[in-house]
Structure 1
Amino acid sequence: MTLLLALLLTPQAYAPEVEAVMNRSKDRAEKARSAAASPPPPHDAATTAATALPVPPEVAAPFQACLDDAVESPEKGIAHANAWRIKGGSFYARQCLGFAYARAERWAPAIVTFEQAAEEAERAGAMPQSARLWAQAGNAALAGGDPAKARSDLDAALARGIPDGMEKGEVHLDRARALVALNDPKGARDSLDIALEQAPRDPLGWLLSATLARRAGEMPLAQAHIARAVQLSPDDASVALEEGNIAVLTGHDDVARSAWQRAVKLAPESAMGKAAADNLTRLPAG
């Protein structure tokens, strides 16, 4: 076995795909900050404080005003949300507060606030809102680097009922991300299989599935799923890196070289680009 193959097959403290999925939550938060409180796609649950469900008319205006302040300035949003909560803003005020904390990347208070909002929503009989708030807490925990907390909160979201479709798929994908970080490949596989069925358009699901299959030695599955990830996200350096990893293990050095070169070109200063560049130095000259 070559040194490169040994490195790819041996579990390592640093795993580029784990870093990629953990950074994904931070990318989501950045998108939420730039969206000026307009609803992002359903899977952007980390800091989505508004719009997952219709807001009652009597709450819509103050809720939007709070979100607008949080977008303008996290500290302004925090002050607004706290004042509104004292006046009886219920879990919507806490939801806005969690959004403001997440905008500031203050993940610990964001997690607690989303959890409190979820519990308050449940006491009010608003179970769909409670489920989504637990999911937001879980995604904030992922962004904050606490996969154990993320798993717990995402389990709470699923226990309270998430409808079939993209939304459920994304919650299972987030749960799989947490389980990857917790080194629980079996649990991650179970959630990933559901995520791929419910949210087949998300390339991260296919990337994680391919990586898990590679580590388990299930190379046909790894090849099929990384091909799907490449199709959905050809300009993602983490996808290109994993495409190369799988290609070299299946005897396709030319494909590996091309994929790693693409990863370096796409993100030369990222962990994925640097890992790809290092892998390229270990390939025999073509």
Structure 2
Amino acid sequence: MIPLLFALATTVAGPATPVDPTIARFDRCAALAKADPAKAAAEADAWRLGGGGLPARMCLGLAYAAQERFGPAAVAFEQAAREAEIQRDGRAATLWVQAGNAALADGDAGKARGFLDRALALPVLSSAQRGEAFLDHARAQVAVGYLDAARTDIDQALALVPRDPMAWLLSATLARRQSEGPRAAKDIAEAARLAPDEAAIAYEEGNVASLLGKPEEARAAWARAAGRDADSPAGRAAAMALAGKADAPPAP
């Protein structure tokens, strides 16, 4: 869940301080990854082949991710993370997180778990970054069927990022999947308190109410979700639930 945004660490002492050409090139490449990701990928790959090293691989990962080519993005971020570890570069942990997120988006939860394990083993992530990494790790655990392990991850995340509504949403969804109705109800209520207008949270409120045998509350929550963002995955799923075509959300 950590955003795919990077900057090469630098401190500019004053206007007379020259800009490191490598940093400048990375900044241009990262900006191009937003504006024209295919062109950025080509330029980053040429830079990599020309000895661009870590910053070239970082930009290549960003460009692939912007194109939703998540498999190649995972490879680029993994290679960047390995190179950062060799160089004892402090960005290695964040790069492992990015590799894990890309692998998750590519549907390879097993590989994502491994990448995120590498990130969490490094003692350099901030508390917030570590909490988000635990949430990503939990998503990977759920995808491979390790629900109890995912609960451990989510509880650690909640201790680190207690004001993240998505953490409470994932916790509620997992509790519902494990038929822990009271825990699901408590956690989705906290998610709704923190983000009262979020369609995905309203959708899960409906699912939890359904689990607890409260069909009227469930339909009201699904209606809120569909009304808040009809074109989102949660909005569409809520509309299907209201139509009686589905009553369970995607996994966290």
Cα RMSD for the two superposed structures: 2.1
Change in CA separation of 1:281 and 1:100 when aligned onto 2, cut-off 3 Å: closer
TM-score scaled to structure 1, two decimals? 0.75
- How far is 1:281 from its partner? 5.0
Q: Does 1:199 align with 2:154?
A: no
Contact 1:244/1:257 (CA < 8 Å) preserved in 2?
Answer: yes
Instruction: Give the corresponding residue for 1:250.
Output: 212
CA shift digits 1:156-185 (9 cap, x unpaired): 111223434110000001111111222211
Q: Does 1:272 align with 2:227?
A: no
CA shift digits 1:8-55 (9 cap, x unpaired): xxxxxxxxxxxxxxxxx7xxxxxxxxxxxxxxxxx21xx32x23x624
Q: In the aligned structure 2, how far is the partner of 1:91 from the partner of 1:113?
A: 10
Superposed, 1:42-121 pairs within 5 Å as 43-44=2-3, 47-48=4-5, 50-51=6-7, 54-55=9-10, 58=20, 59-121=22-84
Q: In the aligned structure 2, how far is the partner of 1:151 from the partner of 1:278?
A: 32
Q: In the aligned structure 2, how far is the partner of 1:85 from the partner of 1:119?
A: 15
Q: Does 1:168 align with 2:117?
A: no
- How far is 1:262 from its partner? 0.7
Superposed, 1:220-231 pairs within 5 Å as 220-231=182-193
Superposed, 1:202-241 pairs within 5 Å as 202-241=164-203
User: Residue type of the partner of 1:64?
Assistant: D
The alignment covers a number of residue pairs equal to 236
Q: In the aligned structure 2, how far is the partner of 1:228 from the partner of 1:209?
A: 10
Identity across matched positions, percent: 48
Q: In the aligned structure 1, how far is the partner of 2:231 from the partner of 2:27?
A: 38
- How far is 1:207 from its partner? 1.0
Q: In the aligned structure 1, how far is the partner of 2:76 from the partner of 2:243?
A: 47
SS at the partner of 1:125? Answer: coil
User: Residue type of the partner of 2:173?
Assistant: T
User: Residue type of the partner of 1:125?
Assistant: R
Change in CA separation of 1:211 and 1:87 when aligned onto 2, cut-off 3 Å: same
- How far is 1:270 from its partner? 4.7
User: Residue type of the partner of 1:119?
Assistant: R
SS at the partner of 1:179? Answer: helix
- Which consecutive unaligned segments of at least 5 residues does structure 2 have? 12-18, 245-252
User: Residue type of the partner of 1:112?
Assistant: V
User: Residue type of the partner of 1:54?
Assistant: A
Q: Does 1:177 align with 2:132?
A: no
User: Residue type of the partner of 1:223?
Assistant: A
Q: In the aligned structure 1, how far is the partner of 2:92 from the partner of 2:58?
A: 10
Instruction: Give the corresponding residue for 2:105.
Output: 143
Q: In the aligned structure 2, how far is the partner of 1:280 from the partner of 1:84?
A: 52
Q: In the aligned structure 1, how far is the partner of 2:62 from the partner of 2:213?
A: 47
Contact 1:164/1:198 (CA < 8 Å) preserved in 2?
Answer: no
Change in CA separation of 1:156 and 1:265 when aligned onto 2, cut-off 3 Å: same
Instruction: Give the corresponding residue for 1:33.
Output: none
Instruction: Give the corresponding residue for 1:189.
Output: 151
Bigger relative contact order (CA 8 A; separation at least 6): 1
Q: In the aligned structure 2, how far is the partner of 1:156 from the partner of 1:143?
A: 18
- Which consecutive unaligned segments of at least 5 residues does structure 1 have? 1-24, 26-42
Q: In the aligned structure 2, how far is the partner of 1:102 from the partner of 1:215?
A: 30
Q: In the aligned structure 2, how far is the partner of 1:86 from the partner of 1:249?
A: 55
Q: In the aligned structure 2, how far is the partner of 1:215 from the partner of 1:88?
A: 48
User: Residue type of the partner of 1:136?
Assistant: Q
Contact 2:225/2:238 (CA < 8 Å) preserved in 1?
Answer: yes
1:131 to 82, 90, 93: 93
Q: Which runs of 4+ in 1 moved over 4 A?
A: none
Instruction: Give the corresponding residue for 2:248.
Output: none
User: Residue type of the partner of 1:246?
Assistant: V
